[in-house]
Structure 1
Amino acid sequence: MGQDFATYPSLAGRTVIITGGASGIGAEIVKAFAAQGSRVGFLDLDETTSAALTDATEGDIAFEICDLRDIPAMQAALARLKERLGPASVLVNNAARDDRHAWDEIDPAYWDERMHTNLRHMFFAIQAVAPDMIAAGGGAIVNMGSNSWWEAGGGFPAYTTAKAAVHGLTRTMARDLGGHRIRVNTVVPGWIMTERQKTLWATPEALEKHRQRQCLPDLIDPVYVARMVVFLASDDAAMCSANNYMVEAGSI
């Protein structure tokens, strides 16, 4: 398939913040906004990969290294990006890890750590950037969900629980912030062929089984998730809020 993608003039010059931006879907989102002429800042834990992405991507890009489980550290990193790039017009809550775990082996400490990794930072990132969006008269927030729980996927109950909660966060924050013309939506990826997925879980048998669940025959490249995020951040999506936008090739 060819990739003749849209340009959104409304995104040029806007400051966009992305969590977990160094690799996988996050890296594609960074590149997509940079190509729109946005001022892009991202957070990640991997300094080497972050620097490599920044060096390889044209545009106004900055990154800060922090562990998103440490909320004060994240807040400080966001403040530094604001100093460098200006107040955020767009926030993409992308960071998460879908590590597998057995339901009968989880202890409370692991459960809490998974919530901190996959959910808690999303709310506090919104809390950090929303005042500037309010002052500017509007903004866009995109939270990354997952179709794993829609499909009743097993093998990682703490992850699917956190991802299901993302939809509740989106809906309630869309209501709380909507009066300020801040739009909040969830993008719901299916099984996206990142390098991590291909390395750890994409066996020929698993891929064939998954193809049979999709309506479309093609496996999903991360770029298509990024395209949905870019659309929802743009003024073209000005009347889109409090909803789920699926990028899963019809697999539910």
Structure 2
Amino acid sequence: GSATIGMFPMQWIGHVDDVVVVDDHITGVLSEHETGKQLDVTPTGIKVLGRRSTSGRYFQVAEPGLGWGGTDIDDPLKILGPFNPKIAWEGLRLLMVSTTGEQYAYYELDKDLIPKLKPIPEILKFSADLIAENCEPSVCSVLFMGGAGGSLRAGVTENPVRLTHSVKSALTNVTCGGAETYVWPGGGITVMVDVMDMPTRSFGYVPTPALVAPIEFTLRVSDYAALGGHVDYMTTIEEIDQDNVRRVKRKVRLNDPMAAENYSWSKEA
């Protein structure tokens, strides 16, 4: 709720006197919020029934649920107390909106300073739609981090530390199942990869115990020979037994591991 107040205040200035963004976590109030103060929003005498945090931010306005802003309420006025008669005025315009923009209501105070539901102006309806548009799906990020141990590197070169130096010097590109990796700057070869970019069934397990993930090192043949690679055992792609290769669709948004921009040498080299 507080973040919504900070993101969309210019949608409300001049069209409404106060805005309450209802949220199970933090409910925001425009006139009390630092954003409102910076924009010279006039105090409205509004009272929110919750535990006040910093200015314009309230916790525990209701219990969690499937109602407004993830709370258990279906009437947003339940979180409001009486308006301060020394500050509020008849005709005060109030927008109440959920933090996802899915629920919204527009009120005006009557002569007794009681909020009365009114048809929402189109400009305020647009602001609620804008809030909803900026809500993204809640997606879990699954990242795998692992390292290339000494025995693995020895399978690549007779001098394993040279492979490490080659990776650190960006002469060798590291992928996991063809997916781009982030190589951690510390010692050894420790990489992190987005599991969703990897092929299905990429991971295995051994009794060590340990997880096993695919890892590929791509570099020029001349550099491979220079770091002591097992050049006598090199095999071309065409020589691989194609009948026993599991093929997966290429992810077009990922870089080609053979692309020149993955390496530090010049195009002329």
TM-score of the superposition, structure 2-length normalised?
0.28
Larger strand proportion, structure 1 or 2? 2
Larger helix proportion, structure 1 or 2? 1
Larger Rg over CA atoms: 2
